[in-house]
Structure 1
Amino acid sequence: MRFLIKPFFAILVSLAFLPVQAEEVWPNHPVKFIVGFGPGGANDLVARVVAEGVSKQLNQTVIVENKPGAGSTLGADIVAKSAPDGYTFFVSAGGIITNPMIKSSMPYKEGDLVPVGLLTISPSIIVVSSDSKINSIKDLFAQAKTPKGINFSTAGTGSTPHFVAEMLSMKGGGKYEIIPYKSGSEGMVAVISNQVDATSEASVVVIPQIQGGKLKPIASTWSKRITALPNVPTAKEQGYPEIFIGHWAGVFAPKGTPDAILEKMNQAINAALKTTAVQSRLIPQGIEPAPGSRAVFTKFLGDEKARLEPIVRRSNMKED
């Protein structure tokens, strides 16, 4: 009997340590970053640059897969229903917060995805055509109060440009005709061709057109000026701190992913974002790296939700 007890006890001890050992060797095969948008967009660009940096930190391949659809909800749902083993992550945009606000139903619960880390912020830049007489937010407010009002293009209901338009309307009053396009790029082209008066898009989208003299920036909607557009004042500097939003990207994991893995991924993300290799590919395009702890990211998400939810209710935003 004594000889049987010892092996049995040894087995119990080894089993007790299996989860810890599994986390210690993570990752031992390729990790996936799921992007909820198609290739070539800002979210995809950030995911690929950061994935390359993270792979070097973890000494393991990080694969980016595009799963576009339903305003990024399809990709989020895939990750929410994935095994919580640390090998599938979701690279989100702001829709992960706003989609539940404007959609009548969601395929997953809010708690099914847990925050891992904030990646980047691309401030939204309010732009007009290069020959427009509008040179500031004050000028835009003045035109909104004329009989003509302002025609403002967006990338669809619940998009960041839509939120900017609603913020402008709530703060300055006047008449705003909000015109949804299929994408931010299409809305930007409408401004260049003078089909509409203004729009607001991610800095990475509008910077080439600003540099080419086709668009005129009148304000950045983030808390500070961005490196790539140092001469563009923020809305806050112009006296309108309420006009505040950015196109951001962050990483989420399925609920139940071991805490040790979440922490290790957060550390790898932060280390990657601080490298010259990553910064040199993002900052010139108007994308600001935003490393920070999981707690900081969680607070950021809570603040965004608390700030944007009243705008959704007041403007009665509903999915198209």
Structure 2
Amino acid sequence: MHSFRRLSLLVGLAAAFAAGSAAAQTWPTKPIRLVVPFSAGGANDLMARAAAEGASKALGQPVVVDNKPGAGTVLGAEIVAKSAPDGYTFLVSAAGVVSNSMVRKSMPYKDEQLVPVAMIGLAPSVIVVPGDAPYKDLKEFIAASKKSSTGFHWATAGTASTPHFVEGLLTTKYGAKLDLVPYKSGSESITAVLGSQVEATSEASIVVLPYIKSGKLKALADTWTQRISAYPDLSTAVEQGFPDIRIAHWAGVHAPRGTPDAILDKMASAIDAAMKTPATVEHLKSMGIEPIGGTRASFVKFVGEERARLGGVVKATGMKED
């Protein structure tokens, strides 16, 4: 009896594997949905649309962007986590997909229900102050904040937003004296800096570069590991002597757990090809976005490193949901 059950189980597994392999070989046979957990027009959305256009050409099927903003990426991520793992629903992921479970009291899905597929690209975060601020670089800004009796006001786009993590690194690693002022979005934060309601914030390069080039904002540092292609004059925080400040507004692709590996590999290859298309590269870089692409393995490694890095900031700052 036990041998019969074991045989039945093996036959069932073999049949399931064969069905999955067959589906992967013919995939895709219909349009693919890319769920973006942000509103249209932001860095994540723009990267998603570039990836969708390129992947559509590589896969021979429409790749449709579906914006589902809300709850700091949780709403869109939950939709994908609970979708059928058939290769027709993917999430355009961001740092929040990694960090939400670290700071929220409860989550409607488990992190392991989403698996990394591919990196799309990233928009380096830029630390900015009003255009007439007296600091010429990040070192001077941190020193001035320490001398201030009340510290400097730092705008964020809410708990666990990228500016919140940048602030956490500045305070816990380098002793900056900063007082958080949470806003509902990055655009509101930038408006607050433009109006000198707060001393500083950090925001995606694609958002702040027009203000920097017009002189309305002053850039103190790029918070990624490389200079921005569209603004190479700005040095990185690492170059300025702050090696722990490595953070960006990135976009990748995650899939529901259980999606066949062959489909994930095919999707990763399509996105990688899209991010290497000369027209796409030129378009994204001109806006301040760095196309990345790469393999599934490289994105799995990146997500693991991001989880460890952000987890360290959460622990050091005691960052919790509002």
Shorter-chain TM-score: which interval? Answer: over 0.9
Are 1:237 and 2:242 an aligned pair?
no
Q: Is the 8 A contact 2:117 2:252 kept in 1?
A: yes
Superposed CA deviations along residues 194-247 of structure 1, whole A, max 9, x for unmatched, are 111111111011011112211111100111111011000001111111111111
Counterparts of residues 274-313 of structure 1 (less than 5 Å):
274-313=276-315
Superposed CA deviations along residues 110-158 of structure 1, whole A, max 9, x for unmatched, are 1101110011011110011110001111111111112142111111111
Q: Equivalent residue of 2:119, what SS?
A: strand
Unmatched tracts of structure 2, length 5 or more: 1-13
Are 1:85 and 2:56 an aligned pair?
no
Pair 1:21–1:200, CA change in 2 (3 A):
same
Show the counterpart of 1:255.
257
Counterparts of residues 1-320 of structure 1 (less than 5 Å):
17-146=18-147, 147-320=149-322
Q: Is the 8 A contact 2:21 2:262 kept in 1?
A: no
Cα displacement (A) at 1:39:
1.5
Identity, % of aligned pairs? 54
In the alignment, residue 278 of structure 1 is paired with which amino acid? T
Q: Is the 8 A contact 2:39 2:68 kept in 1?
A: yes
In the superposition, the TM-score normalised over structure 2's length comes to: 0.93
Q: Is the 8 A contact 2:20 2:260 kept in 1?
A: no
* Partners of 2:143 and 2:234 in 1: CA distance: 20
In the alignment, residue 230 of structure 1 is paired with which amino acid? P
Q: Is the 8 A contact 2:36 2:67 kept in 1?
A: yes
Q: Say what the alpha-carbon RMSD is for the aligned residues.
A: 1.5
Q: Equivalent residue of 1:253, what SS?
A: strand
Superposed CA deviations along residues 51-90 of structure 1, whole A, max 9, x for unmatched, are 0111001111001101111111111111111110000000
In the alignment, residue 181 of structure 2 is paired with which amino acid? I
In the alignment, residue 114 of structure 1 is paired with which amino acid? V
Show the counterpart of 2:3.
none
Greater mean deviation of Cα atoms: 260-269 or 132-141: 132-141
* Partners of 2:18 and 2:188 in 1: CA distance: 55
Unmatched tracts of structure 1, length 5 or more: 1-12
* Partners of 2:21 and 2:150 in 1: CA distance: 66
Would you say how many aligned residue pairs link Structure 1 and Structure 2? 308
Q: Is the 8 A contact 2:171 2:178 kept in 1?
A: yes
Cα displacement (A) at 1:277:
2.3
Q: Equivalent residue of 2:115, what SS?
A: strand
Q: Equivalent residue of 1:308, what SS?
A: helix
Q: Equivalent residue of 1:145, what SS?
A: helix
Q: Is the 8 A contact 2:172 2:316 kept in 1?
A: no
Cα displacement (A) at 1:40:
1.6
In the alignment, residue 47 of structure 1 is paired with which amino acid? A
Cα displacement (A) at 1:22:
2.1
In the alignment, residue 98 of structure 2 is paired with which amino acid? I
Larger radius of gyration: 1
In the superposition, the TM-score normalised over structure 1's length comes to: 0.93
Pair 1:262–1:133, CA change in 2 (3 A):
same
Q: Equivalent residue of 1:32, what SS?
A: strand
Q: Equivalent residue of 1:76, what SS?
A: helix
Q: Is the 8 A contact 2:129 2:220 kept in 1?
A: yes
Greater mean deviation of Cα atoms: 98-107 or 18-27: 18-27
